[in-house]
Chain A
Amino acid sequence: MNAIQLANFSNHAIYGCLAIFTLAFFAHAVEVAWSVGNVDGQKKTEFLFSRTERAGRLGTAMMVLGFLVLTLAVVTRGMSAHRVPWGNMYEFSITGAFTLTAAYLFALVKWKLRWLGLPVSFATLLTLGTAITVLYRPSENLVPALKSPWLAIHVSAAIISGGVFLVANLVAGTYLWMEAIEKRGERPEWAKKIPSLESLDQLSYRLIAFVFPLWTFAIIAGAIWAESAWGHYWGWDPKETWAFITWVAYAAYLHARVTVGWRGKRAAWLCIFAGSTFLFNYIYINIWGTGLHTYSGL
């Protein structure tokens, strides 16, 4: 295939992903909505349980399929331009959706977190949908400032961190939701499959502790690159400033947790706050901000 065919193939694959992740979303929604417990007869319960189980498995199958097709879309996009597919915001977004689903599937295998599929498929749909409709740019070559091996290093570290921050935020959000439900009484049947408050709390902490060094590395790699491309390693460019703010927010989170002993609700809110500084940087500064990080429109 030549460059144009590859780029077209990638676009079609993204549309395919939209369909697949929509199915995954509905399957997970059905799984959650139809969860019914031991009401009366044992027989009925078994039947209903198998029905939700089937929906859940279908959801997982769709997530895996979506992940594979998305991998194909990202790879062909990169091949069409002969470079890593991280040249503009459209490409950041599809790669970001890729790392988000990858992080989810990893969590699914390691910690059996199928319930997370509902928010993750929704977030993925939102990201891909915005990417293909609003942010789309034809595949093209990089401007000279981006031609550097640091592109692959700096941007991949930033995108992976972003994906994991987002998952940690979803977990913290779920914590707050479950906490609100438990305050009113016992969890309803559909929420019983979701891990205990304590596990959710631990999980979001572990995700952040895992990814904080990577985010630090992303900032440092960016500084090294800036030193060779712009002549200074730190210039308080709006994107740099907000990367620093995110770093400070997560550093505060880790300190609050490890040293001061924050747990539960307060820690979850701090986690969500820190994650939203990342999203603000990604969305607001990319689109409305100015500075050296803006290339070729978006």
Chain B
Amino acid sequence: MSENQNIPDIGALGLARWAWRQLTSMRTALILLMLLGVAAIPGSLFPQRNQSPQKVDQYFASNPTLAHWMDRFRLFDVYASPWFSAIYLLLFISLIGCVLPRTLTHLKAIGKKPPLTPKNLDRMEGYQLLADIDAERSLEVARLWLKKHHYRIRVEAGSISAEKGYLRETGNLMFHLSLILILVGVALGSLFGMKGEAIINVGDRFINTPTSYDTITYGKFQPAGSLVPFALTATDFAAKYDPITGAPQDYTLTTSVENPIGSAPKKVIIKVNKPLTYGATKIYLQANGYSPVVTIRDKSGKVVFTGATIFLPQDADLTSVGAIKEPDMNPQIGFIGTFLPTAQMNMKRGGFSSYPEVLNPELLLSAWKGNLGLDSGVPQSVYQLNTAAMKEIGIKALLLGDTYNFGEGSITFDGWKSWVNLQIVEDPGKMYALFGAIFAILGLLVSLFTRQRRIWVKLNEKGSGVEIAGLAKNGIPGLEPELEALAGAIAPELIQQQTKEQK
């Protein structure tokens, strides 16, 4: 690139052209690539909102000022931040600007002849003079040899120029074009996809409409509510654990699915690595836990609530906490509960679960009365009790079948159900990304393992014999033996003699 000391007036168009050339230069592309790597680092060191929102909240709680400033630079949403997007968008514009013209050049070069034989072959690699042989015949032998070895050949008067390994550039371009295809796939996925989660108890039916979800997000251009019309009933959930360590070994969710709703139900098993697939939509088994089943009666003994309440696991042994809210009693009643699938007690930890399966279930409750705050308009978590306007009226540990009489009524611990967290994802772009990835690898292999080289054969100007030489692109080894083989084909006697002398 030339550097002008006196910058000429190039006008707006010229400036744009200059900027485009800069952006699409290899150097800029490399710098942007390195920059993308560097920019990805903070996202792996600081908690990210889309991965662990609770950790981001903790960070805010422990360093409020620092976190506030970090948030301004989007350090908790690195991969969705404007600066990260800017880098990868620039990189891909640069890539397109670099690769498309090269592809056109490469396509035009298909079927074209190799460049002319250079004047002075003795400056090239592996130069040899094969003297005292029939030159014209040698050229013909060389041409046949090169043809047999799939070289592309250009015959001129008194010289042959041959080239091989065009696939290297083909593979190289295929690799870079495939990277663009991957980006297209990623973009389609984020613009037209959808992602949602829902927790359902075993026995419950899930109908795929937006209101059934606990959380749901759509891509920018995805019309809300365009969901696959299926309904799913969780008929059974089985979890297997290692009896010694308590580590999970297998989760199996058995479901009965109708797609579309109203069609004959089909039995489908969903596992952690085996999602249920409907086109671009997949249904994943993500998490599980327990919902204790209780019956609440008022003072007169009338049942006001009976059913399962979802509790959230707190540790690997599924010690689970949650809240049971009863707004229909007067005063309103709420319970903060801990469900222990295999209950154990010690002085230090109090009640806890020592194994994730239900072997010795226990429900620890603290009962509250007053105002649940459900009408205040402020959204509240279903897993937590807002005790601001409530008063604790007692605590109790219940074994299966036990009833606790808390004065305003009674609560009976009837049993438990398992719940599962279903993640439902629609990603119409992922097939593009997958094909992009496959073509990228193929292109990479072709370009890294194809050797591109040229060979020239020329009449010796000073008299008898021919000269041969070659050029290996990027200094890749392997040219020398090939030239030796060619020399052997042209002048077998001469080469044999040489090898004898060497010995």
Contacts and interface: CB of A to CB of B under 8 A. Distances in A.
B272 A145 contact: yes
A212 interface: yes
B489 to A, nearest CB: 28
B497 interface: no
Interface stretch (B204-212, B217-225, B248-256, B334-342): B248-256
A142 interface: yes
Given A140-B247, A213-B444, A238 B44 contact: yes
B249 A255 contact: no
A2 interface: no
B37 A245 contact: yes
Nearest to A232: B425
B433 interface: yes
Contacts of A45: none
Interface stretch (B14-22, B28-36, B58-66, B105-113): B28-36
Contact of B51 (A145, A217, A237, A285): A237
A245 B272 CA distance: 28
21 contacts: A140-B242, A141-B242, A143-B247, A144-B251, A145-B273, A147-B272, A148-B273, A202-B477, A210-B448, A213-B444, A220-B438, A220-B441, A225-B273, A236-B43, A241-B44, A244-B40, A252-B33, A255-B26, A255-B30, A290-B55, A291-B51
A171 B474 CA distance: 21
Contact of A241 (B30, B43, B242, B441): B43
Contact of B423 (A140, A142, A223, A231): A231
B250 A249 contact: no
Contacts of A285: 44
B275 A231 contact: yes
A248 interface: yes
B284 A231 contact: yes
A290 B52 contact: yes
A36 interface: no
Contact of A147 (B26, B250, B425): B250
Contact of B33 (A213, A220, A248): A248
Contacts of B36: 248
Contact of A223 (B55, B245, B272, B437): B437
Interface in B268-294: 271-275, 282, 284, 286
A33 B430 CA distance: 57
Contacts of B440: 216, 220
Q: Which of B30, B44, B273, B282 has the most CB of A within 10 A?
A: B44
A248 B41 CA distance: 12
A229 B448 contact: no
A221 to B, nearest CB: 9
Contacts of B166: none
B274 A228 contact: yes
Given A236-B43, A245-B40, A260-B26, A209 B448 contact: yes
A258 B441 CA distance: 18
Interface string A76-117: 000000000000000000000000000000000000000000
Contacts of B79: 236
Contact of A144 (B43, B78, B245, B249): B249
Give the top 8 A-B pairs by smallest Cβ distance, nearest first: A248-B37, A238-B44, A144-B272, A241-B44, A148-B273, A220-B437, A231-B284, A245-B37
A234 interface: yes
Contact of B48 (A227, A228, A236, A260): A236
A232 B196 CA distance: 12
Residue among B26, B271, B448 facing the most chain A CB atoms (10 A cut-off)? B448
B37 A147 contact: no
Interface of B: 26-27, 30, 33-34, 36-37, 40-41, 43-44, 47-48, 50-52, 55, 78-79, 186, 195, 242, 245, 247-251, 271-275, 282, 284, 286, 423, 425, 427, 430, 433-434, 437-438, 440-441, 444-445, 448, 474, 477
A67 B275 CA distance: 40
B11 to A, nearest CB: 32
Contacts of B51: 235-237, 291
A213 B433 CA distance: 17
Contacts of B50: 235-236
A289 interface: yes
Nearest to B41: A245
A140 B248 contact: no
A132 interface: no
A42 interface: no
B478 to A, nearest CB: 12
Interface in A253-298: 255-256, 258-260, 285, 289-291, 296
Contacts of A256: 30
In this complex, the member of B27, B52, B272, B477 whose beta carbon has the largest number of chain A beta carbons within 10 angstroms is: B272
Contacts of A230: 284
A212 B448 contact: yes
Interface in A101-156: 140-145, 147-148, 150
A41 B297 CA distance: 106
Contact of B37 (A216, A249, A255): A249
Nearest to A256: B30
Contacts of B247: 140-141, 143, 296
Contact of B249 (A142, A217, A220, A249): A142
A79 B52 CA distance: 36
Contacts of B286: 231
Contacts of A210: 448
A217 B26 CA distance: 25
A226 to B, nearest CB: 10
Interface in A180-212: 202, 209-210, 212
Contact of A143 (B195, B248, B427, B474): B248
Contact of A258 (B43, B425, B444, B474): B474
B190 to A, nearest CB: 11
A91 to B, nearest CB: 15
Contacts of B437: 220, 223
A229 B37 contact: no
Nearest to B436: A220
Contacts of A229: 272-273
A233 B430 contact: yes
Given A142-B249, A241-B41, A245-B40, 19 more contacts: A141-B247, A143-B248, A144-B248, A144-B250, A224-B434, A229-B273, A231-B282, A231-B286, A231-B423, A233-B433, A235-B51, A236-B51, A237-B51, A241-B40, A244-B40, A249-B34, A256-B30, A260-B27, A285-B44
